[in-house]
Structure 1
Amino acid sequence: MTRPAVDHRSVVVVLQGVALLALASVAGAHLLHAGPVVDVVPLPWWVLAVAFAATEACVLHVQTAREARTVSVSELPLVLGLFFASPVDLLLGRLLGSAAVFTWQRRSPLKTGWNLALISAQTALTTTVFHLLADLAPGHAPLAWLGAFAGAFAAHALGSVALAAVIAVYERDLDLRGLLRDIAVGDPTAPVVVTVALVVATSLQASVITAWLLVPALVALLLGYRAYASLTERHLAVERLLRFTQAVSDSPETDQVLGRVLGEARELLHAERSEAVFVGAREGVAAHVRLGTSGRLTRSEEDLDVDAWIVDRVVGDGQKLLLARGTRDPEERAWLQARAAREAVVVPLRGGTGVLGALVVLDRLGDVRTFDDSDVALAENVAAQAGVALQNGELVDQLRHDALHDALTGLPNRAQLQRRLVAALERVGDGRSPGAAVMILDLNGFKEVNDALGHQQGDKLLAVVGQRLTDAAGTAALVTRLGGDEFAVLAEDLGDEDTVVRLGRRLLRALEHPVPLDGMEVEVTGSLGIALAPTHAAEPTGLLKRADLAVHDAKASTRGLRVFDPSLTAEDPRRLALVTELRTAVHEGQLEVHVQPQAEVLTGRVVSVEALVRWTHPQLGRVGPDEFIPVAERSGLIGPLTTLVLDRSLAAVAAWRAAGTDLSVAVNLSTRSLHDTDLVDEVARLLRRHDVPSDRLTLEVTEGSVMADPARTIAVLHQLRDLGCRLSVDDFGTGYSSLSYLKRLPVQEVKIDQSFVTGLRSGGEDVAIVRAIVDLGRHLGLAVVAEGVEDQETWDLLADTGCDLVQGWHLGRPMPTADLPGWLGDRARSTPARPLRAV
């Protein structure tokens, strides 16, 4: 059996009520047998009960800001009871009178109990303070008067503290400064009512017959104060409505107008919530715009079923609705229940073209007042001003949209990119954001599409590309069109280069599928350049320039994607020096070849290595491959560099074989190497020179290098395969078109890029991509290698997918070729054999 949930806040409120009762008992214990201070006009408990019930039922409600302040004249019977009744009769009469009113108002048991406990404590405290001062000099009227004022102030202070404690329970926030201010200022009406009560008490002590003169005076005072409070509230409403009219007239943007409309509607009607309802863009859907407590607008689309009658009567027929508390209308009750509301005012939002939507105001603040016809009229005034402002805002928004968006694709244009980029870099500069990235994407072969199919089809291609990029980026980045076939992507709040690169590769993958144009399918590819802030530049012009340099290099080297580095800057003196010194290092054999092991996933047995070139410069120290390999490609040194790596790698394989260790080696081939007509002959020559079986050499190519010139590349790969070499597609999954060519490539292996492998532990799309690649490889009869494995958990996850080989720091870091035999021996002695696992 399920136990009902316990509301811990209610428990705390009950305990507060018990504490108030305890305070009442302590404060009033010594007055249990005390009699009236003056026995001229004895007041029994039932007379006091009627008097307190009347004053509680006829309270005034004055609205101030977001609160409804209740003004009561209960001090009048309280002061009279202090003088003419015993403390017990006073307490009993006040409790019974108040309880009768609370029951009539149908307050909740918790609220009723807590209020009665507070009344008990306040009455006991007031009586104690009054008697302390009055008993100092019996018959001395000024001391008794002072006791009445002091007792009323003490009761108000106790009520303020108790109410603040309840608010702290429900809102988990105690406004100590506001509490102290409320205690110090007190209830502004209490001194007036206490003074009137003292006048009445003094008059009754002089002559009982004066009561006939006092009654009409008190009634007139009460009616006058009620009229004054009503007039003041109406004046405040008119003043707020005037300010609202001026504010919406000065707000050109639709969001600003809606925010002001909903905010003022909530303030003017003293409501808890406000929202606007429009017929949604999709059929059967109502669009809701709500103003949150933080002042922000939130939007949602909801089924029209619940709002259908509201839309029909208010939007369709232009009616105004007052949904009162406790309404018996089933439609109204169902709608209020769906909104978790007690009452509502709904009026049409009108414009020059008719009714635009509905303004909805929900739940008047406090329990003592409800919405009435005057609130409906006020809401209509707000809606009338809002309708005109919203139409003006829509016009300005359209003009602003056109100025900041590309007419062809609908994407943000260069002007909006510049605005967003300036703001993003300011946030990076003052430390509010870890970083930002700009990516420039340039389509390959767009001019040929325009020349062959015409500009109309070219425009269609650009629109499709824009939509694909937007879908791929999602909410992670802003996609813009710079002009022609050039797009830009701004990613904010990203300080991690790997995350940005993954996003860039996702954008390129979005272009993989052919685009149907004029009865044929056209393949789309692109080149992407990335620049990061603050790493590469901290101001917009510099960042865009560096992203542009990176995309030009990506296009020239057919890499597909390129992150900016200083070597791309033509005037960089370091780059100029590296060209000369790299040529010397290659020709004099100053570069080293390190190897990183590859092992079977299920057994852990090392079966191959990947060759990695390293360059230690005499002055500059270690120069990374990411820096000097692009220099080699642009300077024509990539051919000699590839030959050097192949020669050193095969020499190492021959030495290991001679020592009894039979391993294969994998060597990367660049795009330019694949275009070298002497490549096949050079590989054959080096295999013969070192007497290494051709199947011990794996040549790795990237997807981008294949797609640079598919016909020539596939022909060269077939020749290498005919030599007996193994072929592998490196960085698989990061390209953009080779999936359609994979079945035509004579490869035996694919390598999953480490950007997907490192994300396996966090789940998400990387897991799906890795499983897809493994499944694809299995169905095509290809071995699958995962690089970037840095922990046992990732290794085990790869084993579960059916991956064949792993490579990464968890297995072994790159090492000189001469160190590998020793490392293998140490591993054999320290690592137990891994058991076979079913997959």
Structure 2
Amino acid sequence: MDTQQTDAGPDDTGPVGGDEASAPRRRSRFDRRSALVVLQTIALGVLAVLVGAPFVGVPASQPELHLPWWVLSMGFAATEACVFHVQTRREARTVSVSELPLVLGLFFAAPLELLAGRLVGSGAIFVFHRRSSLLKTSWNLAMVSVQTAVAVAVFHALSDLADSTSPLSWIGAYAGPMAANCVGAVALALVIAVYEGSMRPGELLRDVVNGEPAAPVVITLALVAVTSLTVSPHSVWLLVLTGVGLLLGYRAYASLSDRHLNLERIYRFTQAVSTSPEVDEVLGSVLAEAKELLRSERAEIAFVASPQSQVAHVRLGVSGRLTRSEEPKSAEDRWLLDQVVEDATALLLPRTTKDAVQRRWLDAQAAREAVVVPLRGGAGVLGVLFVLDRLGDVRTYDKDDVLLLETVANHASVALQNGELIDKLRHEAMHDALTGLPNRALLQRRMTTALEEVADGRSAGAVAMILDLDGFKEVNDTLGHQQGDKLLVEVAARLTTAVGTAGMVARLGGDEFAVLLSGTGDEERAVHVARRVLRSLEHPIALDDMEVEVGGSLGVALAPAHATDAAVLLKRADMAMYDAKGGGKGLRVYESDLDSKNPRRLTLVAELRGALARDEISVHVQPQARLDSGAVVGAEALVRWHHPELGVVPPDEFIPVAERSGLIGPLTTRVLDASLAAVAAWRAAGHPLGISVNLSTRSLHDADLVEEVSRLLRRHDVPASALTLEVTESSVMADPARATALLHQLRDLGVRLSVDDFGTGYSSLSYLKRLPVQEVKIDRSFVTSLQAGGEDAAIVRAIIDLGGHLGLEVVAEGVEDAAVWELLSTMGCDVVQGWHLGRAMPVAEFAGWLATRGTATRPTLHAVS
């Protein structure tokens, strides 16, 4: 039994390990693998010449009966035409009974005639019947040449030791073809290694040792024919009939064996898909089995995603990877779906098709051939299942392949319907019945997975948010549960739209919802999404003939910053939500102080919120003057809180509380409003002064700050240049990129910018020239000890020189006596602020202070009493 490798060329071999879903087929590219095959072909040809050269001119072993080369060529053509195809990994392997004419040629033909007959007969089949490429045909002819030369060499080496009719010649007849088969097995393994990328020595050794099991039987029949022809040449007709029957019988047996194997595979496939509850697993099994059963390079399922334009594709290609895509319906897709889905019939597109429409579809798929069958579901035909490009070059798809793929599709349809039922039950167990959102169980499962990815380093972080509706109970109690349910459904839809693809929205129960963001632990992005969620609730919700308004309080917790356990992360998001609910603005990011049970902190949060609502927060101002002339040019706003029971609450105590509780926004707005109102009053009284207001670190994270400043400037009709906003080094360095961007927006508004407490940070010198500031303020800790000289004096002088070189105005705060004033004047400082000029005072007293100060160029101590 002889074997030939018939898929040796690169033109029909798909990419190994690539993404076959999108890779076009390369039919004519001559690559490195093709070059290796050419080298193998040349090596086989040279080996054939070396082995066969000694037998050129040697006569037939039994010249009494001469078989001409053309008779042998017909015998080899017949055995090559009636073959059995075996798949060896990605290669198609052709098995024939060519030992029969080979043994006859060893006895009744000269070696050169035997070689010519085999090359002509086999070559005719390769070219005209199988339509192999030039490279494949060349490789196969080179291999049969070396096989023939080896068979002749072994046969003559044994038969020449005795008479040609002795049993020793029979041994040569066995040994020659079997040695040739071993050579073929080695050559086949080498060419497979070229395309597989590796050699499997164990498999090669097994093929060489086992050989072809049926070869001895075929050789025995050939020796019977030799004996019969030697006795009576007229028995040739009987032998021809016997040989034809043998070929047909063997081919029928091979076909039956192949069908039996397919039935066994279908049985195993049916068991596999019937026990798989997952639709994705079923799809993977269906495509893998379709590829294997029909020996195909690619398998694909196309679902009709929408009636208008979309087709969903699930693909399994050469690499075994399952890929999905949703693509617009092309003209070729429309034709295919009309043919298969609408008519519910299978479609066979062999590589020999001449139909122009079929060929266009194949070209669009970058394929040579295909089988397409409908995939049915409970509601009719869902889509199509098809395979593309049979492996090897010796067979194309036929009607039996259509029936086989239809069998796979029928089993797949039943499995998919079962999987859909199980998926439906699972969906109901993991989703809220009213809104359709994921429930708490699914949220915790997804959150656990997200946190595992964070722990493994596969994800940057995760964000948990908990939202509680404000005013839902009143709607439920007043309008009834039916209207309350409608409201929850509408809220769920708005939240889903607001979050979009950024994360998952879940309903925890009642009027409580949750949001999970995976793949990020960035607070800025989390706050951005959280604000989008809250904004989605700002518009009224229509319930029958009336509209209702609901708000929300939202808490945010980040992983891994705040927790790495799902339960703890949810708890801390819940704590932040409850803090936000009492905070006024509705949004709170978790901080560690929320775990504190400090009564003072809890009291301050509640009282500060009330103080803002009752307008109990006041603004004091401290004047600023030019150092050279003593002229007052403005003042710094200082926030004050005098509590009726707690007394004076220091700013360094209540401002951090405001930052942590989410009240810093309202507090900043209150200070800005009062400060700009004061500037407007001063200007109306003939004092064109400016004012400086401090911004906290949290304010630099507030995306609404620019709009708020602009609104207040318009409200009080104050020019932007009259407002100076002070930021500290630490607030800028907490997030330089974000802070710089916001400062540029404020500068574009026309507001002046100042760096407060300059010199106390550690890296702002490198950022100073990048920041859009016009002023730096020397921290009072350097100024108060200026007279002592030493390092503080050197630092103050360096800051003043730096400001001068950068074109910045330098302000010194904490000037408490005339000596420091004079010292700063000699250093070239621009503006001063401190008790020597004036103490902090209520806004209402500032105009009187200006009047009593008059036009003095240098303040005196009595002026600040």
Whether these two folds match at TM > 0.5 is yes
Name the counterpart of 2:687: none
* Structure 1 residue 714 corresponds to structure 2 residue 714: no
When residues 685 and 815 of structure 1 are mapped into structure 2, their CA distance, relative to the original with a 3 A threshold, is closer
260, 266, 291: which is aligned to 1:266? Answer: 291
Identity across the alignment (%)? 44
In the TM superposition, 1:329-728 aligns within 5 A as 329-424=355-450, 431=456, 433=458, 437-443=462-468, 445=470, 447=472, 450=475, 466=492, 470=496, 477-492=503-518, 497-498=521-522, 502-509=525-532, 511-512=534-535, 514-518=538-542, 526-532=553-559, 539-553=565-579, 567-570=593-596, 633-634=601-602, 636=604, 680-681=618-619, 683-684=620-621, 708=663, 714-721=669-676, 722=678, 724-728=691-695
Name the counterpart of 1:224: 249
Q: Which moved more, 1:104-113 or 1:295-304?
A: 295-304
Deviation for aligned residue 1:104 = 0.4
For residues 488-521 of structure 1, the C-alpha deviation after alignment (integer angstroms, 9 at most, x for no partner) is 3445566xx44x6534543434544643534989
Quick check: 1:343–1:362 contact (8 Å CA) kept in 2? yes
Quick check: 1:412–1:479 contact (8 Å CA) kept in 2? yes
Name the counterpart of 1:234: 259
In the TM superposition, 1:32-71 aligns within 5 A as 32-62=56-86, 68-71=92-95
Quick check: 2:305–2:312 contact (8 Å CA) kept in 1? yes
Deviation for aligned residue 1:364 = 2.9
Give the distance between the partners of 1:207 and 1:96, measured in 2 at CA.
Answer: 28
Name the counterpart of 2:24: none
Quick check: 2:348–2:371 contact (8 Å CA) kept in 1? yes
Give the distance between the partners of 2:76 and 2:792, measured in 1 at CA.
Answer: 97
Opposite residue 312 of structure 1, the aligned amino acid is D
Opposite residue 804 of structure 1, the aligned amino acid is P
For residues 789-826 of structure 1, the C-alpha deviation after alignment (integer angstroms, 9 at most, x for no partner) is 9999x979x96xxx62599xxx9xx9996978756877
Deviation for aligned residue 1:95 = 1.9
Opposite residue 328 of structure 1, the aligned amino acid is K
Give the distance between the partners of 1:556 and 1:138, measured in 2 at CA.
Answer: 113
Name the counterpart of 1:14: 38
For residues 189-245 of structure 1, the C-alpha deviation after alignment (integer angstroms, 9 at most, x for no partner) is 333323333443344455544544433332222222222222222223333334444
Give the distance between the partners of 1:806 and 1:687, measured in 2 at CA.
Answer: 16
123, 132, 135: which is aligned to 1:107? Answer: 132
Deviation for aligned residue 1:98 = 2.0
Give the distance between the partners of 1:207 and 1:433, measured in 2 at CA.
Answer: 81
Matched residue SS, 1:101: helix
Deviation for aligned residue 1:453 = 9.7
Name the counterpart of 1:91: 115
Matched residue SS, 1:804: coil
Matched residue SS, 1:684: strand
289, 306, 310: which is aligned to 1:285? Answer: 310
Give the distance between the partners of 2:372 and 2:526, measured in 1 at CA.
Answer: 46
When residues 742 and 833 of structure 1 are mapped into structure 2, their CA distance, relative to the original with a 3 A threshold, is closer
Give the distance between the partners of 2:780 and 2:119, measured in 1 at CA.
Answer: 89
For residues 316-359 of structure 1, the C-alpha deviation after alignment (integer angstroms, 9 at most, x for no partner) is 22233222322222221111211222222223333454333333
Matched residue SS, 2:621: helix
Matched residue SS, 1:529: strand
In the TM superposition, 1:188-207 aligns within 5 A as 188-205=213-230
Opposite residue 81 of structure 1, the aligned amino acid is G
5+ long unaligned stretches in structure 2: 1-27, 640-650, 680-690, 714-719, 784-790, 809-865
* Structure 1 residue 744 corresponds to structure 2 residue 769: no
5+ long unaligned stretches in structure 1: 580-631, 640-669, 761-765
Matched residue SS, 2:424: helix
Quick check: 1:531–1:550 contact (8 Å CA) kept in 2? no
In the TM superposition, 1:144-223 aligns within 5 A as 144-205=169-230, 208-223=233-248
When residues 782 and 442 of structure 1 are mapped into structure 2, their CA distance, relative to the original with a 3 A threshold, is farther
Name the counterpart of 1:584: none
For residues 117-139 of structure 1, the C-alpha deviation after alignment (integer angstroms, 9 at most, x for no partner) is 23233333443444445456675
Give the distance between the partners of 1:687 and 1:388, measured in 2 at CA.
Answer: 85
Deviation for aligned residue 1:307 = 1.9
When residues 130 and 725 of structure 1 are mapped into structure 2, their CA distance, relative to the original with a 3 A threshold, is same
Opposite residue 743 of structure 1, the aligned amino acid is S
Name the counterpart of 1:612: none
Name the counterpart of 1:658: none
Opposite residue 132 of structure 2, the aligned amino acid is R
Deviation for aligned residue 1:256 = 3.5
Opposite residue 357 of structure 1, the aligned amino acid is G
Q: Which moved more, 1:154-163 or 1:92-101?
A: 154-163
Q: Which moved more, 1:443-452 or 1:94-103?
A: 443-452
Quick check: 2:467–2:554 contact (8 Å CA) kept in 1? yes
Opposite residue 365 of structure 2, the aligned amino acid is R
Name the counterpart of 1:615: none
Deviation for aligned residue 1:829 = 10
Give the distance between the partners of 1:790 and 1:161, measured in 2 at CA.
Answer: 73
When residues 68 and 674 of structure 1 are mapped into structure 2, their CA distance, relative to the original with a 3 A threshold, is same
Opposite residue 527 of structure 1, the aligned amino acid is L
Quick check: 1:512–1:525 contact (8 Å CA) kept in 2? no
Deviation for aligned residue 1:414 = 0.8
State how many pairs are aligned: 718
Matched residue SS, 1:228: helix
Q: Which moved more, 1:97-106 or 1:815-824?
A: 815-824
789, 793, 804: which is aligned to 2:772? Answer: 804
Name the counterpart of 1:653: none
Deviation for aligned residue 1:17 = 2.1
Opposite residue 744 of structure 1, the aligned amino acid is R
Q: Which moved more, 1:709-718 or 1:228-237?
A: 709-718
Deviation for aligned residue 1:415 = 1.3
Name the counterpart of 2:332: 306
For residues 524-569 of structure 1, the C-alpha deviation after alignment (integer angstroms, 9 at most, x for no partner) is 6653321425x76555433433443344455556797766565544
759, 781, 785: which is aligned to 2:750? Answer: 781
Q: Which moved more, 1:509-518 or 1:467-476?
A: 467-476
Opposite residue 750 of structure 2, the aligned amino acid is G
Opposite residue 121 of structure 2, the aligned amino acid is G
Give the distance between the partners of 1:560 and 1:288, measured in 2 at CA.
Answer: 44
Deviation for aligned residue 1:303 = 1.3
Name the counterpart of 1:74: 98
Quick check: 1:348–1:359 contact (8 Å CA) kept in 2? yes
Give the distance between the partners of 2:102 and 2:147, measured in 1 at CA.
Answer: 11
When residues 401 and 128 of structure 1 are mapped into structure 2, their CA distance, relative to the original with a 3 A threshold, is same
Q: Which moved more, 1:380-389 or 1:137-146?
A: 137-146
Deviation for aligned residue 1:786 = 12
Quick check: 2:530–2:587 contact (8 Å CA) kept in 1? no
RMSD of aligned C-alpha atoms? 5.1
Deviation for aligned residue 1:408 = 4.3
Give the distance between the partners of 2:735 and 2:478, measured in 1 at CA.
Answer: 41
Give the distance between the partners of 1:786 and 1:81, measured in 2 at CA.
Answer: 102
Deviation for aligned residue 1:398 = 2.5
